[in-house]
Amino acid sequence: MKNTVVTGVIGGDCHVMGHYVLDLYLERAGFKVVDLGVMVSQQEFIDAAKESDAGAILISSLYGHAPLDCEGLREKCVEAGLKGILIYIGGNLKVGEQDWGSIEKGLKKLGIDRVYAPDVNLADAVKDLKKDLGLPAS
């Protein structure tokens, strides 16, 4: 279903609070959320997206290693029959003094559709998600 989304914290990251807030916000915005929790592998995201017929995978990351954790994800989605699935990522996606623009560009080059900084307004992210999924705005 287009209004079903899979959420989780990727890789070895066990930060949960931002992810929890995102899930609550998405549910209140009318999405069915399949929450995978923390320390989620790429394959777990893919399996859950296939099983739930999700329209999007929403990845949280706070420990700064998102570019490494997301390498090959888009290709694996395509191989699994999820060619058109949206992939969003947000959180603290860099380590130290790395330039945000280069992090965002690098993640998009990996096939991530939208990349959000830690201070994203969740209303804006949900607006983007609804638009990208072809759902009516609230």
pLDDT in tens, 75-124: 999 999 999 999 999 998 877 778 889 999 999 999 999 999 989 999 99
Residue 20 forms part of a structural domain: no
- CB neighbour class for 38 (10 Å; exposed up to 12, middle 13-18, buried from 19): middle
Q: Which of 13, 19, 23, 69 is catalytic?
A: 13
Residue 70 forms part of a structural domain: yes
Residue 66 forms part of a structural domain: yes
Q: What is the pLDDT of residues 52-71, one digit of tens each?
A: 999 999 999 988 888 899 99
Residue 78 forms part of a structural domain: yes
Residue 93 forms part of a structural domain: yes
- CB neighbour class for 96 (10 Å; exposed up to 12, middle 13-18, buried from 19): exposed
Active site residue 15: yes
In 3D space, the residue among 17, 24, 38, 31 whose CA is nearest the CA of residue 118 turns out to be 17
Tokens of 131: 């638009």
Question: Domain range for residue 116?
Answer: 61-138
Residue 99 forms part of a structural domain: yes
Q: Are the C-beta atoms of residues 56 and 86 closer than 8 Å to each other?
A: yes
What CATH number is attached to the domain comprising 116? 3.40.50.280
